[in-house]
Structure 1
Amino acid sequence: MQPSVSPRNKKPWRAIIAATATIGAVGVALGLGTQLISILMAARGFSSSVIGYSGTVGGVATIIAAVFTAPIAKKIGVARSILTMMAVGCASFLGFYYFDSIVIWFVLRFTLHFAITVMFVLSEFWVNSSAPPAKRGTILAIYAITLGLGFTIGPTLLAYVGSQGFAPFGTACFLIAIAALPIIVAWNLSPQFKDSDHVAFFHYIFAVPSSTMAVLVYGAIQMGALTLITPFSLNLGYSESEAAKFMSVLALGNVLLLIPIGMISDFVTDRRYPLTGCAIIGLSGTLLIPLIAQTKWLLTLDLFVLGGVSAGLYTIGLAQLGSRLKGFELAAANSAFIFCYGIGMLVGPTAIGKAMDIFPPFGFSDTMATFFGLYIILVVTRVVLKLIRS
């Protein structure tokens, strides 16, 4: 199938800046908003289990939205879809302020995360399809960093505006409204699809497994580590403040190592090799944890590297999609990519938590090592089979 996206995007940098600036602003709003919702649920007396179920609803919404994103974009267009979901996101935020029913809150959590996912997939697709091939890995790394910084800044902003009254909800909506401006400016640069375009969504889960399984592993390790690194650190004898620092180090590795990893991937024709490299480093790093767990500076350094290479799986996997696919095929593949990310987010914390109960305390690192190891086996097997066939 030939690329079906219209050649309207003659100014790729304007499109890249628009989509990246948008996801940054949305990231700030959502980082603020999701933290705010958890705080308010706790303040209103909801149990940790109910708050956890609320997060699960968000994960389910992510998976469902990934299935429908490409058809929505085909029906009403990429830019219009993003703006529509911005409106849905704003309405969801306001709903949390105006309604008290837990049932309505669960519905709002679903609509909020559905809107987030559609915006996420389409802005990602827009950047990926607009990026010059020689710089795709670097540009996607900058995009991922911008999103990550947005999620980091959001909770910090919440500390200033507070969690009471209309102010935090109004702030989140204001930020999303600002994020709409670059989309409107770059409206004519957004990708367009033909009416005849049709690609089965689930096909791309298996068509580019080195990419989709990379993001599944990333989702599992990222969510599992963020959820369980604190109890893991406490089990090792570290304090709560030290556990918080370990979490910060993981996030810092996500940010600081992505650009060099992205630049390296731009010099490689077959991105399965840097993907495998990231997984091998991740496997080595997780296997080292039991040996260095009581040496704080070594553990800190190890977690910093693990944060970077696990995020590298996401960025390089996404760049590989952009190098192999175009037009509506890329949009459908992007949806499959985020679908697998959502599956990883659901599987990771459960698998790692269960392993920590059965094999304390290093079930934490052993399970992550298993994820990395299985991915290495997948990619190496595919590369070997390709060499045999050729």
Structure 2
Amino acid sequence: MRWGTYFAVLAAVLSVGLALGVSMPLVSLRLEGWGYGSFAIGVMAAMPAIGVLVGASLSSRLAARFGTPGLMRLCLWAGAFSIGLLALLPSYPLWLALRLLIGVILTIVFILGESWINQLVVEQWRGRLVALYGSSYALSQLAGPLLLGVVGSEDDLGFWIGAGLLIAAPLVLLGRDGAPSAESCSVTFTDLFGFCRRLPVIAWAIALFAAFEAMILTLLPVYCLQQGFTTEIALFMVSTVVVGDALLQLPIGALADRMSRRTLFSGCAVMLLGSSLAIPLLLQTPLIWPLWVLFGASAGGLFTLSLVLIGERYRDDALVRANAHVAQLWGIGCLIGPLAAGAGSQWISGHALPLFMAAGAFGLVLLARRPDAFEPAPV
């Protein structure tokens, strides 16, 4: 196994997590300060999701033309340019367009990075090495809000830190090999429907985790502010959720190499359901802090296990296309989650965010009980 390449790809993807972790909450906090409501902030949070759908459809075609390493470098530099423009053009309509562009660019990085990692790892280490990827990415996102809390949200330094990270990230990919090959073709929604029909429980889990991540980075700070917490406490609550995601991914990955992945997957779904329902009840008590950890760990575990299950089934172009479907599902989840939770928070219930996650987790629990839930259906 090419360990140097594995850690180089991991480092490049982590730079994206840190850049997003420091810039996405800053966008939401800036909009809150400008007087925008939860729904307007939710619309802003959903814009990268549309870009995700576009990026997923283009990833295989562009990878075939530029090669996986070359395309990743180009997209990372383009992402740096786009985040820098957020600082230079403080306008809600322009930010909508920039967030859309960022979604397109960074989606391609994630598709290629996850495919490259899943192609490299050996089967007996797949659970642990994919979990290390998920855990490290979560830690990079954790560092983002913490770093934002240190540098402050009053100026644009958070944007410039994110841009600087993406400028430096492509350098670690120079000279690396072992990337999956790709064919020049588009990934359509018809293809996505076939993927969902073959592996519905994995498709649901990916979309649910995407909604979770988009809401945690964008709407959870606003949710906490609306419940009476200060900006600093709100950012620490976001970071605590990501800590839960990060700290428990390695144990979950290790268990995935030693026990039934279906049982482990179902356990994470049940834990996400229970923790989501408990948030409104325990929000104003000290118990909310360990609950945030369980909330993040259970959601992150579902995504890690989904990537493990995909990696054991696909190779080369099929793996790139499967991860493109992951990105499409990610875009759908990122689009629906913030819009539904933002609208619900403004017009139905202040606790719409955790209740939305509880509803999604309940559906996943039911789906995972099917006897063939983890076996691909015949094409």
The two structures share one fold, judged by TM-score above 0.5 = yes
Cα deviation code 1:137-171 (max 9, x no counterpart): 21122112222222333355455498758x76654
Change (3 A) 1:367 1:266: same
- Whether 2:71 is the aligned partner of 1:81: answer yes
Q: Is the 8 A contact 1:282 1:309 kept in 2?
A: yes
The range that moved more, 134-143 or 22-31, is 22-31
Cα deviation code 1:88-120 (max 9, x no counterpart): 213323444555676554433322221111111
Look up the match of 2:265.
275
Look up the match of 1:308.
297
CA distance in 2, matches of 1:52, 1:283: 23
- Whether 2:138 is the aligned partner of 1:148: answer yes
Q: Unaligned 5+ residue runs, structure 1?
A: 1-10
Q: Is the 8 A contact 2:256 2:264 kept in 1?
A: yes
CA distance in 2, matches of 1:227, 1:98: 21
Q: Is the 8 A contact 1:138 1:259 kept in 2?
A: yes
Look up the match of 1:376.
365
Larger radius of gyration: 1
- Whether 2:304 is the aligned partner of 1:324: answer no
CA distance in 2, matches of 1:298, 1:197: 48
Length-normalised TM-score, structure 2: 0.82
Look up the match of 1:263.
254
Change (3 A) 1:76 1:107: same
Q: Is the 8 A contact 2:112 2:320 kept in 1?
A: yes
- Whether 2:8 is the aligned partner of 1:15: answer no
Quick one: which amino acid aligns to residue 207 of structure 2? L
Alignment of 1:330-349 (within 5 A): 330-349=319-338
Look up the match of 2:120.
130
The range that moved more, 223-232 or 199-208, is 223-232
CA distance in 1, matches of 2:168, 2:254: 30
Look up the match of 1:209.
200
Cα deviation code 1:217-241 (max 9, x no counterpart): 2223343455555676678x76446
CA distance in 1, matches of 2:28, 2:215: 18
CA distance in 1, matches of 2:123, 2:64: 24
Length-normalised TM-score, structure 1: 0.80
Cα deviation code 1:184-235 (max 9, x no counterpart): 131x332224679999742323322222211112223343455555676678
For the residue of structure 1 that corresponds to 2:337, the secondary structure is: helix
Cα deviation code 1:55-98 (max 9, x no counterpart): 33222112221222222212322111101112321332344455
Alignment of 1:346-357 (within 5 A): 346-353=335-342
Q: Is the 8 A contact 2:51 2:331 kept in 1?
A: no
Q: Is the 8 A contact 2:61 2:183 kept in 1?
A: no
The range that moved more, 195-204 or 18-27, is 195-204
Change (3 A) 1:55 1:382: same
- Whether 2:55 is the aligned partner of 1:31: answer no
Q: Is the 8 A contact 2:244 2:293 kept in 1?
A: yes
Q: Is the 8 A contact 1:97 1:169 kept in 2?
A: yes
CA distance in 1, matches of 2:201, 2:296: 19
Correspondent of 2:106 among 106, 116, 125: 116
CA distance in 1, matches of 2:144, 2:235: 17
Q: Is the 8 A contact 1:61 1:110 kept in 2?
A: yes
For the residue of structure 1 that corresponds to 2:180, the secondary structure is: coil
Once the 2 structures are TM-superposed, how far is the Cα of residue 312 of structure 1 from its aligned partner? 0.4
Q: Is the 8 A contact 2:42 2:342 kept in 1?
A: no
The range that moved more, 128-137 or 46-55, is 46-55
For the residue of structure 2 that corresponds to 1:381, the secondary structure is: coil
CA distance in 1, matches of 2:222, 2:154: 27
For the residue of structure 2 that corresponds to 1:383, the secondary structure is: coil
**RMSD, matched Cα:** 3.6
CA distance in 2, matches of 1:38, 1:230: 8
Q: Unaligned 5+ residue runs, structure 2?
A: none
Quick one: which amino acid aligns to residue 271 of structure 2? I
CA distance in 2, matches of 1:41, 1:88: 24
Once the 2 structures are TM-superposed, how far is the Cα of residue 133 of structure 1 from its aligned partner? 1.2
Q: Is the 8 A contact 2:117 2:130 kept in 1?
A: yes
% identical aligned pairs? 24
Once the 2 structures are TM-superposed, how far is the Cα of residue 281 of structure 1 from its aligned partner? 2.1
Once the 2 structures are TM-superposed, how far is the Cα of residue 309 of structure 1 from its aligned partner? 0.9
Change (3 A) 1:38 1:356: closer
For the residue of structure 2 that corresponds to 1:185, the secondary structure is: coil
Once the 2 structures are TM-superposed, how far is the Cα of residue 303 of structure 1 from its aligned partner? 2.7
Quick one: which amino acid aligns to residue 299 of structure 2? S
Q: Is the 8 A contact 1:204 1:332 kept in 2?
A: no
For the residue of structure 2 that corresponds to 1:324, the secondary structure is: coil
Correspondent of 1:221 among 212, 217, 223: 212
Change (3 A) 1:18 1:162: same
Alignment of 1:143-292 (within 5 A): 143-157=133-147, 159-160=150-151, 171-186=161-176, 188-193=177-182, 201-202=191-192, 203-224=194-215, 229=220, 239-240=229-230, 244-268=235-259, 271-289=261-279
For the residue of structure 2 that corresponds to 1:189, the secondary structure is: coil
Change (3 A) 1:272 1:75: farther
Change (3 A) 1:353 1:129: same
Change (3 A) 1:185 1:41: farther
Look up the match of 1:71.
61
Change (3 A) 1:359 1:15: same
Cα deviation code 1:311-345 (max 9, x no counterpart): 10011001100011111111111111122122122
